[in-house]
């Protein structure tokens, strides 16, 4: 199978992907030089409010959490694994360039992030998503309330991270009014 592509332009225009097998998708740790393209890939999701907007500096500060997916050397997707506690992490900022949707890119990223969680010995992985069917295929189930014991809940309340606030279902974030769903996978 072949993969037709064009290099992304500075304007944020994506690539053109022909027929691609999942084996042609390379998933690797993100590098500092990838942040501009990560922001291009996530931009439509931020615009539609599916991903929380963040300044560029936030992407650099959390770079070690990110994986990127490439086809023919062009980044077509990204995702991050953010550890919240000793037994729980969150998949966040999962995005696939529109031109690469339907080619297994998102699934490859999720599988790699779940492998990272297992390597870190995290037992549960959380996500906040509009894509419930997609995450359901990967073993995630909808949850309500905070799935942590009271002592851990109290510790997590001290975090300034919006993702942790979403995980705890705190009134100050209330993202679920947008229609997204809190989901959890337990290994």
pLDDT at 179: 65
Strand, coil or helix: 70: strand
Query: What is the average pLDDT across 95-124?
Result: 96
Q: What are 153's two structure tokens?
A: 């809940």
Q: CA 57 to CA 80: how far, in whole Å? A: 15
Question: Model-level pTM?
Answer: 0.81
Alpha-carbon separation of residue 177 from 71, 110, 118, 173 (angstroms) = 36, 25, 32, 9
Q: What are 111's two structure tokens?
A: 């599988």
Strand, coil or helix: 9: coil
Average pLDDT, the chain: 83
| Segments making up each domain of the chain, as ranges | 24-184
Alpha-carbon separation of residue 91 from 13, 21, 23, 162, 174 (angstroms) = 25, 24, 22, 13, 18
Percent of the chain with pLDDT over 90: 58
pLDDT at 84: 84
User: Is pLDDT above 50 for 139?
Assistant: yes
pLDDT at 49: 86
pLDDT at 182: 86
User: Is pLDDT above 70 for 5?
Assistant: no
Looking at 3.40.630.30, 3.40.50.300, 3.30.470.10, 3.10.450.50, the CATH number of the domain 24-184 comes to: 3.40.630.30
Q: CA 33 to CA 92: how far, in whole Å? A: 20
Q: CA 68 to CA 48: how far, in whole Å? A: 21
Contact predicate 79/95, CB 8 Å: yes
Exposed, middle or buried by CB within 10 Å (0-12, 13-18, 19+), for 164?
buried
Taking the C-alpha atoms of 58, 63, 64 and 70 in order, what is their torsion angle to the nearest 10 degrees? 150
pLDDT at 10: 35
User: Is pLDDT above 80 for 112?
Assistant: yes
pLDDT at 31: 98
Contact predicate 76/70, CB 8 Å: yes
Q: CA 13 to CA 107: how far, in whole Å? A: 23
Contact predicate 127/139, CB 8 Å: no
Q: What are 105's two structure tokens?
A: 């890119």
User: Is pLDDT above 90 for 133?
Assistant: yes
C-alpha Rg value of the chain to the nearest Å: 16
């Amino acid at each position: 199978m072949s993969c037709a592509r064009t290099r992304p332009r500075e304007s944020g225009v994506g690539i053109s992907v022909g027929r691609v097998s999942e084996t042609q998708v390379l998933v690797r740790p993100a590098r500092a030089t990838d942040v501009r393209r990560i922001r291009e890939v996530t931009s439509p999701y931020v615009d539609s409010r599916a991903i929380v907007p963040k300044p560029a500096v936030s992407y650099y500060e959390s770079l070690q959490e990110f994986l990127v997916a490439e086809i023919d050397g062009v980044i077509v997707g990204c995702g991050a694994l953010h550890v919240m506690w000793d037994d729980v992490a969150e998949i966040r900022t999962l995005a696939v360039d529109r031109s690469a949707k339907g080619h297994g890119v998102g699934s490859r990223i999720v599988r790699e992030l779940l492998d990272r969680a297992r390597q870190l010995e995290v037992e549960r992985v959380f996500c906040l998503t509009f894509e419930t069917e997609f995450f359901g295929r990967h073993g995630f189930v909808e949850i309500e309330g905070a799935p942590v014991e009271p002592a851990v809940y109290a510790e997590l309340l001290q975090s300034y991270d919006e993702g942790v606030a979403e995980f705890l279902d705190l009134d100050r974030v209330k993202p679920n009014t947008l229609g997204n769903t809190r989901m959890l996978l337990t290994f």
